[in-house]
Amino acid sequence: MTPAAGLNFDEGFLWLTFLLIGLATTLPRASFIVLGNRVVLPSVVQRALRYAPAAALAAIVVPDIVLVGGSFAPFNPKLAAAAATVAAALLSRNPWLPFIAGMGTLLTLRMGLGW
């Protein structure tokens, strides 16, 4: 039995989702490589596009670490783990350390202290 055997996705929906995410990845990547010189992206658009990944990443991550059950919780294990992750990433160049620090903090707080 797999650890996630309780979760079942609709098989067809899931593969359709993968296919569309794949398109949403390959089309931006191939765009200008395939089009070549036929189209030039205005510099205003180029500059605006630069901010999309940072905005999207933060919009996904921040609610996950500051909300507990839908309400704002400034003190929770995930936020503490996030702080440990950021500290490890800023203080060290080791690519594994942030994962160890973040998961270590989360597991210590949840399992060790029952938070």
The answer to whether the CB of 115 falls within 8 A of the CB of 109 is yes
Q: Does 52 participate in binding another protein (rule CB under 8 A)?
A: yes
Restricting to residues 1-30, name those near another protein by CB under 8 A. Answer: 2-4, 6-9, 13-22, 24-26, 28-30
Instruction: Scan residues 77-106 and list those touching another protein (CB under 8 A).
Output: 78, 81-82, 85-86, 89-90, 95-96, 98-99, 102-103, 106
60 contributes a contact to another protein by CB under 8 A: yes
Regarding 65 and contact with another protein (CB under 8 A), the answer is yes
What's 28's DSSP letter?
A: H
Query: What is the nearest approach in angstroms of another protein to the Cβ of residue 113?
Result: 14
Q: Write the DSSP symbol of residue 67.
A: E
Q: Does 49 bind another protein (CB under 8 A)?
A: yes
Taking CB under 8 A as the rule, does residue 112 contact another protein? no
Secondary structure letter of residue 5 according to DSSP: T
Cα separation, 99 vs 18, in Å, equals: 26
Q: At what angle do helices 77-91 and 52-66 cross, to 10 degrees?
A: 140
